[in-house]
Structure 1
Amino acid sequence: MELWTKEKVAQMIDHTLLKPEATEGQIVDLCRDACAYKVAAVCIHPIWVSTAASLLTGSGIKVATVIGFPTGATRVKALEARDALQAGAQELDMVMQVGWAKMGRWADVEADIRAVVEEAKQVPQSVVKVILETALLTDEEIVEACRCAVAAGAHFVKTSTGFGPSGATAHHVALMRQTVGADAQVKASGGIRTAADALAMLQAGATRIGTSATGTILAGF
């Protein structure tokens, strides 16, 4: 059985603040806490990317931002991605077009993801995570969405925005891990607030955790 230490878990966390009312002062606090916790990344709205990039310079902590958030129903994701990367983002958490997935328009879903991936290729070492919003999908749709993400060149598939009807489940994480295999990683997000929640996701196959409850989670390890 794998030993999950506080330090190891911290390195798998995206310390997140995506409330629409977030202020610059809260972003400063988020980055300060991220440095103290030694997490993998902070995840914030695009408007705060340049602020976070400046605050985290030299820390080794990545700046992640969201694209097409929270619905995915937009035609300008590639433009959003370009702007975020130019501002200093290193990781892009894009929302899949869920409506197309429900319609079975998988070629369009894949093309939507690929457009963001192609933008990310312009910045070495940048990462694209595809948010599926799993609570809105059947298992079969989750499998197909994962296949589209991998085919488009995405680096991660991700469960949820945190704004959907429910968040991550161990079942969905395990299904995503089984589907992508070694071709991509899995980020669990949405409703992960305790060490027990995080452990369940890690044991199911998640390699990254998105949460705003980082301090509480790490205290449990």
Structure 2
Amino acid sequence: MAQVATEAQSSNPTFEGLLFGRKDTLVTESLTDSDEKQTKVRIPTHITGACKCGKPCTWFTTSGKLQEELLEGLIAEYVASGQDFIGWFSCREAAAAAYMPTARERAVCSRLLQTRNISEPLLYGLFYRDALHETEPLGFYLELYEAVHSTQADHKAEPPCQLNKVECTITNVGGSRAQAVYRNVSSFSAILPTIDLMQPITENKWTPKSH
């Protein structure tokens, strides 16, 4: 993901890619004072690899329809190395849609859930560049969503799916000076982690220090 962040700092940061990794199922059981057993199930997703495509709409059309043959070719190498296909990401300027997935991005998520042999949830990462204030330089932002099948009809995307913003944990970022750094970001934040490649790690952003 650090490579994706570097690419996002370029003058034309408009591209898509695929995410690979694994999913774990965590089951927690507890007893209440009334002797009722409660069971909680969590399925955290771990991103271990990313494949960046050279240009926008490499494996899908401008209307969000998948090009299966091209998609299979991109996935094959990573799956052969033991990594599972868990989702995809796009990187663009925020002006295309203010900090939210576009209709096309939602359509791609819907069709991946329908046509790919992938267990829910599908992970979608939205990278974008923007400045919170006119006096600030462009910052690099990441928002993560989980796409799941929706029971409600959605005429904008077939088959319908629902995108839920999720908590993001960033690990081991910033080079040797910042190894084993763990930080949780609230899933209710409007903007998730800010990544700035020119500054040292702070509370809300990181960057390896230049020498």
Report TM bin, short chain: 0.3 to 0.5
| Greater Rg by CA | 2
Structure with the higher strand share, 1 or 2: 2
**TM-score with structure 2 setting the length:** 0.37
